[in-house]
């Protein structure tokens, strides 16, 4: 059983997992390490660490801006791996990398995956790697011992949802809305129906985690009640990090920790 799978399996009855996204190197690598500390202190069960990319097609303005800040600070994929290694050694929290396929392809998929594994990475999320092209890379991921976490969309038909549930590992990432990442004020009624439908295919196979648009404790509670095994929150964390300045550092880190703690509390009903 992978570290990510163990994290889900170790939760109390009726408790959901909180997957917290942090853009690697935002606002700079040293400050990002402190942000990770705050996220874990707040109770995140799994850390999703982004590798900044110049063309993040699945991301909204908050995460795009975070990527710009990170790249401007000189963040490289290798530096993000160092952040992952530090987080794993310091906090023993499962770490999943989120980035785009070009990062892996340009460095050699298996070579980079092995390097990631040696830095404590437990899973990868590649939004622009569709199921039709994922089988070869999933085999490599299994051989290396890293979960290849696939994504399902609101428009995913039943047959394809079944295939995704059978081929993903760690968890199935259910995108709750059409469009890009970004905090929303409320959940759409269709999102809860989507979760219930997807859960029919993941039940007793793999955990179901829901992301995109989740930004408040009440969203978390609704998603868990609808049948999800976990929630993924990113843009609202990134928005708080955007205020990071040397003279505001302590306040921002406290804000991040308290916000994550409120989300984690909501996973327990």
What CATH number does residue 185 fall under?
A: 3.20.20.70
Residue 9 covered by a domain: no
| Catalytic residue from among 48, 122, 147, 222 | 48
Instruction: Tell me how far apart the alpha carbons of residues 147 and 168 are, in angstroms, rounded to a whole number.
Output: 8
Q: Give average pLDDT by consecutive 10-residue segment, the chain, 269 residues.
A: 96 95 97 98 98 85 94 97 98 97 94 98 95 89 96 93 95 78 58 92 96 92 95 96 88 97 94
Residue 106 covered by a domain: yes
Residue 8 covered by a domain: no
Q: Residue 240: which domain range?
A: 16-267
* CA neighbor of 170 nearest in space, from 64, 74, 89, 98: 98
* Angle, helix 77-91 to helix 29-41, in steps of 10 degrees: 30
In the residue annotation, 59 being an active-site residue is answered as yes
pLDDT score for 83: 98
- Contact by Cβ (8 Å): 98, 67: no
SS3 content of the chain, % helix, strand, coil (to 5): 50, 15, 35
Residue 88 covered by a domain: yes
Residue 1 covered by a domain: no
pLDDT score for 1: 86
Classify residue 73 as exposed, middle or buried by CB count within 10 Å of its CB (0-12, 13-18, 19+).
middle
Residue 11 covered by a domain: no
Number of domains the chain is built from: 1
Residue 10 covered by a domain: no
Residue 2 covered by a domain: no
Only one residue has tokens 């975070």, namely: 66
* CA neighbor of 119 nearest in space, from 216, 67, 49: 49
| Catalytic residue from among 3, 26, 45, 59 | 59
pLDDT score for 187: 63
Helix (H, G, I), strand (E, B) or coil at 185: coil
Q: Cα dist. 154→20, 135, 190, 243 in Å?
A: 21, 22, 9, 32
């Amino acid at each position: 059983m992978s570290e990510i799978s163990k994290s889900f399996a170790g939760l109390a009855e009726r408790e959901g997992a909180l997957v917290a996204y942090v853009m690697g190197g935002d606002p700079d690598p040293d400050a990002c390490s402190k942000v990770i500390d705050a996220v874990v202190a707040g109770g995140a069960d799994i850390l999703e660490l982004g590798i900044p990319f110049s063309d993040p097609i699945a991301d909204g303005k908050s995460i795009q801006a975070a990527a710009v800040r990170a790249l401007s600070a000189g963040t490289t994929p290798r530096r993000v791996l160092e952040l992952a290694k530090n987080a794993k050694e310091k906090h023993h929290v499962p770490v999943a990398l989120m980035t785009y396929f070009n990062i892996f392809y340009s460095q050699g998929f298996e070579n980079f995956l092995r390097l990631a594994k040696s830095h404590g990475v437990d899973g990868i999320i590649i939004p622009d790697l569709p199921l039709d092209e994922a089988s070869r890379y999933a085999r490599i991921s299994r051989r290396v011992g890293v979960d290849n976490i696939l994504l399902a969309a609101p428009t995913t038909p039943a047959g394809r949802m079944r295939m995704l549930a059978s081929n993903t590992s760690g968890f199935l990432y259910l995108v709750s809305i059409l469009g890009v990442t970004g905090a929303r004020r409320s959940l759409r009624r269709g999102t809860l129906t989507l979760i219930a439908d997807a859960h029919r295919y993941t039940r007793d196979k793999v955990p179901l985690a829901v992301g995109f648009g989740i930004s408040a404790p009440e969203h978390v509670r609704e998603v868990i009640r609808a049948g999800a095994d976990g929630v993924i929150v990113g843009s609202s964390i990134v928005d708080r990090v955007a205020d990071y300045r040397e003279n505001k550092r302590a306040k921002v880190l406290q804000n991040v920790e308290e916000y994550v703690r409120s989300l984690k509390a909501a996973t327990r009903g």
